[in-house]
Amino acid sequence: MLVAFHTGSKRKHTIIENLNRPMEETKTTELEKKFQLIFDNVQIPYYEASLDGMILDVSPSIQKISLYKREDLIGMSMLDLYSDPSEREQLVATLIGEGEIIDHEIKAKDKDGSQKILSLCAKLIHDDSGNPDKIIGSIQDITRRKKAEQELQESEQRYRQLFESTSDIQVFIDTYGNILNSNLNFLEGIDYTEQELQSMKLQDLVPEKYLTGVDEFLAAIQKGQNQSGLMSVLNKNGQQFVLSYEASVVRDEEGKPTRLIAVRAKNVTSRIKAEQALRRNERLFYNFMDNYPYAVNIKEIGGRFIWGNKAWVEWVTRSKPVLEINGYADYTNTENAQLFDQEDEEVLQSGESRIFSSEMIKDGEKHIFERVKFPIKNEKGEITTRGSIFVDITEKDKDSVS
């Protein structure tokens, strides 16, 4: 038999099968009360609407997600609530074809005109003749969730752009060395594809003789210690290059270390090779100058000697050990020291080499010394140190006189 339940002025219909015994009136009343209690206290808003869009009923909980009250909505057309009424037509067509929808998103207007994103779960109800009668369903406000998802997506896009556009190499690994992600700079240098790297470990890229260093690196990382330094890496063709890296442990919201490691690096292979070549050239230069027959020295801007060749060391150590010599006054008389300091100052002021000459006492005899003094500049053209070459031209001067 068909029993009608009343909620306010609206009728709720359900079919209760006859179990071959009469339904007592008291039981019907109790069931109606239970239904009304559930309807009034359901947390997720429930609604009923006709196929043409008229709202037949809605639960009081609608006020949890809207400025509309239940009495405002009953009798309204759902088309007035859709931001795009055509979405309602599509929803009905889908329901007629499939019978129900789950988590169907729509854009709706609230009472104050503000826009909301709602998620609908709805079902098509048929009458006794099997014809589509009405739509029942539930509504959830997912505006905040969708906004958060959009912000997260935008944040991820900004991060990915930064991740890919930086001139640095960016790699994510876990505390076991598994390679999780890397930017194009690393992929181009290493010659592996992203798919190939995702099945590899950091240990697979490091020359065997340096694997102990990788183990120490990962052990420190597992303790939550950030690391930095140089690391040699092999590309797919076996070519070795050097990375200058900084590795930091990614921490969770509570500040606890996770298993994710962010590695930022630069390919410094060219710089390392240039430095090695410079050191080789410096060794060749100092070996050559060490055997140069004339006294040569290099001084800091402040005047302290930082290097001298064998001829210069042999000369000055006649007065005191070379380690104790900080300036000219430590190995020659006051007059000569003042003269040499004046010459140095002239070179510093002009930024150019100068040649000076004067008499000096050597081995108890007067000698004429020619001094070539020159500034030493860095790649920016800034004077960092200064050098001097002392040449005894006494015999040459005698020959020219004779």
Domain at 166-268, CATH homologous superfamily: PAS domain (3.30.450.20)
Residue 392 pLDDT class (50, 70, 90 cuts): confident
pLDDT greater than 50 at residue 129: yes
To the question of pTM greater than 0.75 for the whole model, the response is: no
What's the pLDDT at 361? 72
Q: Report the C-alpha gap between 312 and 296 in whole angstroms.
A: 6
Q: Which of 121, 60, 104, 108 is nearest to 80 (CA)?
A: 108
37/89 Cα distance (integer angstroms): 33
Among 1.10.10.10, 3.30.420.40, 3.30.450.20, 3.40.50.300, name the CATH number for the domain at 42-146: 3.30.450.20
Question: Would you say the CATH fold of 291-401 matches that of 166-268?
Answer: yes
CB 346 within 8 A of CB 353: no
Task: For residue range 323-352, list pLDDT tens digits in order.
Answer: 667 888 887 888 888 999 999 999 999 999
Cα dihedral sign for 17, 22, 26, 29?
positive
- % of the chain at pLDDT higher than 70: 83
Q: Which two tokens stand for residue 119?
A: 């998620």
The total of other beta-carbon atoms located within 10 Å of residue 327's CB is 16
pLDDT for residue 67? 92
Question: What would the CATH number be for the domain defined by 291-401?
Answer: 3.30.450.20
Please give the pLDDT value at position 319. Answer: 58
Please enumerate in sequence order all residues whose Cβ is within 8 A of that of 110, keeping only pairs 6 or more positions apart, or say none: 66, 67, 68, 116
> Per-residue pLDDT averaged across 42-51, rounded?
85
Ordered by start, the domain boundaries in the chain are 42-146, 166-268, 291-401
Q: Which of 141, 137, 75 is nearest to 106 (CA)?
A: 141
Q: Are 93 and 103 in contact (CB under 8 A)?
A: no
The residues with which 172 forms a beta bridge, in sequence order, are 181, 262
What are the tokens at 303? 């005047």
User: For residue range 14-40, what is the model confidence (pLDDT) as tens digits?
Assistant: 444 444 445 555 555 666 665 666 666
Q: How many CB atoms lie within 10 A of CB 402?
A: 5
- Any residues with CB less than 8 A from the CB of 332 and at least 6 apart, and which? 319, 340, 360
Question: How many whole angstroms separate alpha carbon 347 and alpha carbon 261?
Answer: 53
pLDDT band at 209 (very low <50, low <70, confident <90, very high): very high
For residue 249, name the pLDDT band (cuts at 50, 70, 90).
Answer: confident
What tokens were used for 299? Answer: 């001084």
